[in-house]
């Protein structure tokens, strides 16, 4: 057991630190020397794509949160409307699925029952099925028309970390691939994204090199029972994932909201020393986030902000700021999620929890 952990105290921490590798594998295996995307298991052609007028992304837990980011990427680069649903809801709401639907299942294990049953339901209705899966040969993988493996390697910690970042990479690749195939993505945007994606493994390493900062923050906050995550745009998706990670392994009653929704209810809960994690990586939403941060600060919150390098103004507004390296705004999730994973990990470890096997949770949920 300890040999497998390669010097890390827990699998979860080891897996967080394996992300540069997982991301590199998932990405570089799909790029040829001309920077073209080659998706081995995907047989989606321009002709098939022409007839697709809607995409559904369906998954559970962390995979669902990857789907939220995937939705933005597909809408942005392939310009096809996308809906994203948790599998246990999708199955029971009689969704508008037909032969013109592309159904995307996302699953680390490929065995989550609700995801698998949703896939079968979509297939019955005539949808084309594409899956993003980590476990080779799993049920979801076997029942799909198109298959995009994440190359995260085996994930042992119940809280998903490296599977999530590799799912993000799979979505970016797919969105760019589809945008090129249907001609809705301009060439220069495509190459700009590819170049930026290729820098990701290195940039993740830069973020991991600052893990001591998060460790210090965790030491100061691990007993705080009032925690909120907030963000706008794609930062909102990361707020959801960061909050889930924290509650899964620390057992803190944390939740996430779209920052613009603060004043419609949640701000009533903010009091002295409420710990707020504010995601503020998006240029066009930066000013709006600054004012949300001021709003919670004025009510006594302790604000930890996550922003891109260079946004120094935040150091005057938030109590603490973690800077991620600069990149395209569409790609910040790959970097900004890492400090939230580290925070969840260190808080959980400081509380003396069983980090790799949190109570009541299972790695793969094969019951309804």
The residue sitting closest to ligand G6P, measured at its beta carbon, is: 61
Cβ at position 170, least distance to ligand G6P in Å? 12
341 binds ligand G6P (CB under 6 A): no
- Single residue of 12, 19, 101, 109 touching ligand G6P by CB under 6 A: 109
274 binds ligand G6P (CB under 6 A): no
- Single residue of 184, 191, 361, 366 touching ligand G6P by CB under 6 A: 361
Tokens of 104: 């995307």
Q: Which is nearer to ligand G6P, 44 or 344 (CB)?
A: 344
Cα–Cα distance measured from residue 104 to residue 190, given in angstroms and rounded to the nearest whole number = 22
Residue range at the interface with ligand G6P (CB under 6 A); choices 13-21, 104-112, 168-176, 287-295: 104-112
Buried b (16+ CB within 10 A) or exposed e, 101-113: bbbbbbbbbbbbb
108 binds ligand G6P (CB under 6 A): yes
363 binds ligand G6P (CB under 6 A): yes
Site for ligand G6P in 62-81 (CB under 6 A): 62-63
Q: Which is nearer to ligand G6P, 115 or 292 (CB)?
A: 115
Cβ at position 76, least distance to ligand G6P in Å? 24
Residue range at the interface with ligand G6P (CB under 6 A); choices 21-29, 158-166, 184-192, 249-257: 158-166
Strands 146-149, 128-133: pairing kind: parallel
Q: Are 153 and 166 in contact (CB under 8 A)?
A: no
364 binds ligand G6P (CB under 6 A): yes
- Single residue of 115, 150, 166, 254 touching ligand G6P by CB under 6 A: 115
Cβ at position 133, least distance to ligand G6P in Å? 8
DSSP 166-231: HHHHHHHHHHHHHHHHTT-S-HHHHHHHHHHHHTHHHHHHHHHTTHHHHHHHHHHHTT---EEEEE
Cα–Cα distance measured from residue 11 to residue 155, given in angstroms and rounded to the nearest whole number = 8
- Taken in order 230, 162, 18, 130, is the CA torsion positive or negative? negative
Cβ at position 160, least distance to ligand G6P in Å? 4
The verdict on whether 363 is a catalytic residue reads: yes
Residues binding ligand G6P: number (CB under 6 A): 16
Q: Which is nearer to ligand G6P, 59 or 276 (CB)?
A: 59
Tokens of 202: 């290195």
- Single residue of 69, 122, 158, 173 touching ligand G6P by CB under 6 A: 158
- Single residue of 12, 26, 88, 107 touching ligand G6P by CB under 6 A: 107
CB under 8 Å to 222, separation ≥6 — which residues?
250, 346, 347, 350, 351
12 binds ligand G6P (CB under 6 A): no
Q: Report which of 236, 239, 241 is spatially closest to residue 106, judged by C-alpha positions.
A: 241
357 binds ligand G6P (CB under 6 A): no
Q: Which is nearer to ligand G6P, 100 or 120 (CB)?
A: 120
Cα–Cα distance measured from residue 226 to residue 223, given in angstroms and rounded to the nearest whole number = 9
Write out the H or E segment, with its range, that includes residue 174: helix 162-181
- Taken in order 340, 345, 349, 355, is the CA torsion positive or negative? positive
Q: Report which of 105, 101, 11 is spatially closest to residue 67, judged by C-alpha positions.
A: 105
Q: Which is nearer to ligand G6P, 294 or 359 (CB)?
A: 359
Cβ at position 62, least distance to ligand G6P in Å? 3
Phi-psi region of 97 (alpha: psi -120 to 50; beta: other; left: phi over 0): beta
E strands present in 134-179: 146-149
Tokens of 169: 């990479």
CA atoms within 13 A on the CB side of 299: 16
Cβ at position 166, least distance to ligand G6P in Å? 11
Cβ at position 234, least distance to ligand G6P in Å? 19
61 binds ligand G6P (CB under 6 A): yes
Cα–Cα distance measured from residue 309 to residue 126, given in angstroms and rounded to the nearest whole number = 47
- Residues catalogued as catalytic: 363
Residues that bind ligand G6P (CB under 6 A): 60-63, 107-109, 112, 115, 158-160, 361, 363-365
């Amino acid at each position: 057991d300890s040999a497998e952990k390669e010097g890390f105290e827990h699998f979860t921490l080891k897996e967080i630190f394996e992300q540069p590798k997982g991301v590199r594998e998932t990405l570089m295996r799909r790029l040829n020397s001309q920077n073209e995307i080659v998706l081995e298991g995907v047989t989606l052609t321009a002709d098939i794509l022409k007839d697709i007028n809607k995409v559904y992304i369906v998954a559970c837990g962390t995979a669902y949160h990857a789907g939220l980011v995937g939705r933005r990427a597909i809408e942005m680069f392939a310009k096809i409307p996308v809906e994203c649903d948790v599998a246990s809801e999708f199955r029971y709401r009689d969704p508008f699925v037909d032969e013109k639907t592309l159904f995307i299942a996302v699953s680390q294990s490929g065995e989550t029952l609700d995801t698998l049953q949703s896939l079968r339901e979509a297939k019955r209705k005539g949808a084309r099925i594409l899956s993003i899966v980590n476990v080779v040969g799993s049920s979801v993988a076997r029942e799909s028309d198109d298959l995009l493996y994440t190359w995260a390697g085996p994930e042992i910690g119940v809280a998903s970390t490296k599977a999530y970042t590799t799912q993000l990479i799979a979505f970016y690749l797919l969105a760019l691939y589809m945008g090129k195939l249907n001609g809705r993505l301009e060439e220069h945007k495509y190459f700009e994204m590819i170049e930026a994606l290729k820098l990701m493994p290195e940039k993740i390493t830069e973020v991991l090199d600052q893990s001591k900062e998060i460790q210090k923050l965790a030491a100061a906050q691990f007993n705080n029972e009032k925690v909120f995550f907030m963000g706008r745009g794609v930062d909102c998706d990361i707020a959801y994932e960061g909050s889930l990670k924290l509650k899964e392994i620390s057992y803190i009653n944390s939740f996430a909201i779209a920052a613009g929704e603060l004043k419609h209810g949640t701000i009533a809960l903010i009091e002295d020393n409420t710990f707020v994690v504010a995601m503020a990586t998006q240029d066009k939403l930066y000013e709006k986030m600054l004012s949300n941060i001021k709003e919670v600060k004025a009510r006594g919150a302790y604000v930890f902000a996550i922003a891109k390098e260079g946004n120094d103004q935040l150091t005057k507004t938030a109590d603490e700021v973690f800077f991620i390296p600069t990149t395209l705004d569409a790609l910040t999730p790959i970097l900004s999620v890492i400090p939230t994973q580290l925070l969840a990990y260190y808080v959980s470890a400081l509380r003396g929890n069983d980090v790799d096997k949190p109570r009541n949770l299972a790695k793969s949920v094969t019951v309804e």
